[in-house]
Amino acid sequence: MKLRVLGAIALLGTAALSQAFVMNFDQDSSGNNIADGTTLSNQYAGYGCLWQSSLLDPNSGWASVTDMTMTSTDVGAGYDASMGNILHSFGGWLGEDGDPNMGFTYDGSLGAISSVSCVVMGDTSASSLMAAYHDNGSSYDLLGVAYATGTSGAPETLTLNGFSQTVDLVLIAPGYYFDWAGVDDVKVETVPEPATMAVLGLGALAALKRRKK
């Protein structure tokens, strides 16, 4: 019976620490509103996420500079006003010199990523993808890729989970060169590291002992 009680307490503690955050391009990690036309960079540093454009080698056909404007007015197919700001403006797409791509590095400060998802939409949303990588110290190991399947331009959610290693980089490639696709609601779910879970177990044991006195 004691073991069951301790197990339940530990699981409750772990669940309490498990969390999710959404980068919706409407508010930053501090809850401040993001103005239409703002360029995405460090607005989500409070979550441990730093965004940058053109992570892939431009010599392989990827854009050397990917537009990362957050906007609710310069938009294309599949957009709905209820989305507020989305990432990758329609006008910015016109100036790219290859297939667009952007993404964020994650410092692990809120726990290991267990799942990541995003919403893509646009003229040829079926060309969009999201990929997760692990930093091995000298290069990045691919952990998984989610491809869009729709062709209508309607919003579609891409999801990755079940990672074998820690996720240190998430890449999003919205569409091909000279078409348009937008990104919204990048959701990240995290879980405590094993060391944190062990501390929770010890804390639960101490709490139970205090209650018995």
Beta strands per DSSP E along 136-191: 140-147, 156-161, 169-173, 181-191
Arch. (CATH architecture) of 19-191? Sandwich (2.60)
Residues in the chain where the model's pLDDT stays below 50: 1-12, 14, 195-208
Spans of all domains in the chain: 1-17+194-213, 19-191
CA–CA separation, 87 and 142 (whole Å): 24
Contact 125, 147 (CB under 8 A): no
pLDDT digits (tens, 9 = 90+) for 132-145: 999 999 999 999 99
Structure tokens at 154: 């309607």
Kindly give, in sequence order, each residue whose CB lies less than 8 Å from that of residue 62, ignoring residues fewer than 6 positions away: 54, 56, 98, 99, 100, 101, 173
pLDDT digits (tens, 9 = 90+) for 36-83: 999 999 999 999 999 999 999 999 999 999 999 999 999 988 899 999
Neighbours of 37 (CB within 10 A): 14
**What pLDDT is recorded for position 124?**
60
Distances 208 to 3, 13, 104, 125, 202 between C-alpha atoms, Å: 11, 14, 42, 53, 10
